[in-house]
Amino acid sequence: MSDWLPRRREAQLSIAQRWIIELPRSNGAWTVTEAEVSELAEIVEDAQNAILRQSENSGPVETARVRVAFAALVRYMRMLHRRKFFSPPMEDSDYTRLGLRPPDRTRTEHTVVTELAEFEIRLRGIRQLEVNFWIKGAAHKAKPAAYDGAVLVWDILDAPPERPAALTHNTMATRTPHVIEFDETERGRTAYIALCWQNERGIRGPWSEVLSAVVP
């Protein structure tokens, strides 16, 4: 099992464009509303325009605009995927027409994830935090054998969260270090981060402690 959303921006746009076409045909399945599809279309248009402006006038300003536009696109797509695509359950044909990989339904032995994740946060650059993680107690930084990687969750908050599950942003970190990019508006605010290991069956282990850092 791997992160369902590709890292390449062209692939992210391709999936989003397919959602814009296919979701209105779903007859209200997964409670995706017309307004949500319209908002997705606007975010996609912003991302496409940012890329166009960058191709016409490359520079740090346009590069930053592309980064912000795609960060917004990724957040919105992950929100829809996390909150909408479960009721009613998706069939393999639904995954295919939405540009997603159907889950592996082959029955294998259930495995309990017992390893704990430990990590540190470093300032990487402007609007960037670097998360270095490893198996707690291990002398190396390799992920456990036959694991997808670490589920990394984070959020910008005014106070520490009560539990890691309260953090709303998430991604699959397949290698260390993992860099989180933030928006310009989030600079100077506190980011709270936690991790847990996930094996190839999608089974997660216990959460790490929540650490924090100020976005540079």
The answer to whether residues 133 and 209 belong to one domain is yes
Query: What gap in Å lies between CA 56 and CA 53, rounded to an integer?
Result: 5
The answer to whether residues 59 and 122 belong to one domain is no
> How would you classify residue 56: left for phi > 0, otherwise alpha for psi between -120 and 50, otherwise beta?
alpha
In terms of DSSP H, where are the helices of the chain? 9-22, 34-56, 60-83, 92-97
50-84 pLDDT tens trace: 999 998 888 888 999 999 999 999 999 998 888 88
Is 1 inside any structural domain? Answer: no
CB–CB of 66/55 below 8 Å?
no
Query: What gap in Å lies between CA 152 and CA 164, rounded to an integer?
Result: 10
The answer to whether residues 125 and 65 belong to one domain is no
Is 107 inside any structural domain? Answer: no
Is 14 inside any structural domain? Answer: yes
**Residue ranges making up the domain that contains 76:** 9-97
For the chain, list residues with pLDDT below 70. Answer: 1-2, 28, 87, 104-111
Model pTM score? 0.51
Name the burial class of residue 29, with classes exposed (0-12), middle (13-18) and buried (19+) by CB atoms within 10 angstroms of its CB. Answer: middle
User: Can you tell me whether residue 3 is helix, strand or coil?
Assistant: coil
Tally of domains within the chain: 2
Biggest CA pair distance of the chain: 54
The answer to whether residues 121 and 83 belong to one domain is no
Is 196 inside any structural domain? Answer: yes
Residue 5 is predicted with a pLDDT of: 86
Strands of the 169-173 sheet, one edge to the other: 169-173, 147-156, 190-199, 211-214
Residue 1 is predicted with a pLDDT of: 39
Question: Which residue among 97, 132, 152 closes a domain?
Answer: 97
The answer to whether residues 17 and 90 belong to one domain is yes
